[in-house]
Amino acid sequence: MTQLLLLVAFVTLTVSAVNYRHKGVVMGLSIELKGELEEQLIDRAYLTSILNKEFGSNLVNVPIEFIDINYVEKLFNENPYVQNAEVYLDKHGLLKIEVKERTPIVRLKTINQTLYLDKEGALVPLSKQYSARLPIVIMDNDIDLELTEKKKQDILLLVNKINNTDFNKALIDQIIAHKNKTYTLIPLIGKERIRLGTTEYLDEKLKNLQIFYKKQIGKGRWSECAIIDVRFRGQVVCDKINT
């Protein structure tokens, strides 16, 4: 008999808690924003504005029964700055939003467009809050027309290889992506252009380029080349400036 009474009491309390939760309101809003950049592309105010724009409020004091958590989570995950978002209500009625922002690694630029490309190959709009200091890839055509999946992977490979070496990272300022799937590198210092060709044998090309520059620096001949050509295996050709 005692066990039966305890069971009835437990069921009653559980049902009451469920009903309270169902009839309660959102007691507060907690937003956690994570990212890999030193400064973030977006902030909590921006994320709150997404709620305000969609629902006319930040959802605090809104009855819980009217809130579709899956829809709210989808809303954040569809944002171009967001890599992943999780939304849930805790036991205290607090609406918790956990967001990981995307990590751009390069800036894509055409005459009409400028966008970031993140490390997963997603296009990210420029941020009004923060301008990331990143390598620039100049493209011949509009990004939407030219940026195939293969081109994305080539650009990511090239930028990551450059960033993985301190010397090359300091040397290369811009990359020109040509229509024929070849690339030209523009150094930060000097007027020369580096003909890279395709991304085939990329490690070898970048290593040869680094060796060539170090030899030139040692000889005091930093700026004697107009074109440095590393397109072909085992070769670094210097087309000298006409004097």
Q: What is the pLDDT of residue 122?
A: 92
Question: pLDDT of 199-240, one tens digit each?
Answer: 999 999 999 999 988 887 766 666 678 899 999 988 899 888
Q: 5-9, 141-145, 159-163: which has the minimum mean pLDDT?
A: 5-9
> Given a cut of 80, is residue 145 above it in pLDDT?
no
- Alpha-helical segments (H) within the chain: 2-23, 44-55, 69-77, 143-146, 149-163, 166-171, 202-218
What is the arithmetic mean of pLDDT over 151-175?
92
Q: What is the pLDDT of residue 10?
A: 41
DSSP 8-state class, residue 188: S
Closest CA to 219 of 227, 207, 211: 211
The neighbour count for residue 52, using CB atoms within 10 Å, is: 12
Class of domain 104-240: alpha beta
Q: What are phi and psi of 59, to 5 degrees?
A: 80, -5
Closest CA to 142 of 117, 120, 109, 118: 109
**Residue 60: which pLDDT band, with cuts at 50, 70 and 90?**
very high
Angle between helices 202-218 and 149-163 (to 10 degrees): 40
pTM surpassing 0.85? no
Q: 8-17, 39-48, 92-101, 146-155: which has the minimum mean pLDDT?
A: 8-17
What is the arithmetic mean of pLDDT over 71-77?
97
Q: What is the pLDDT of residue 13?
A: 39
Residues of the chain with CATH 3.40.50.11690: 104-240
Query: Which CATH number does 24-101 carry?
Result: 3.10.20.310
Q: What is the pLDDT of residue 4?
A: 45
Residues of the chain with CATH 3.10.20.310: 24-101
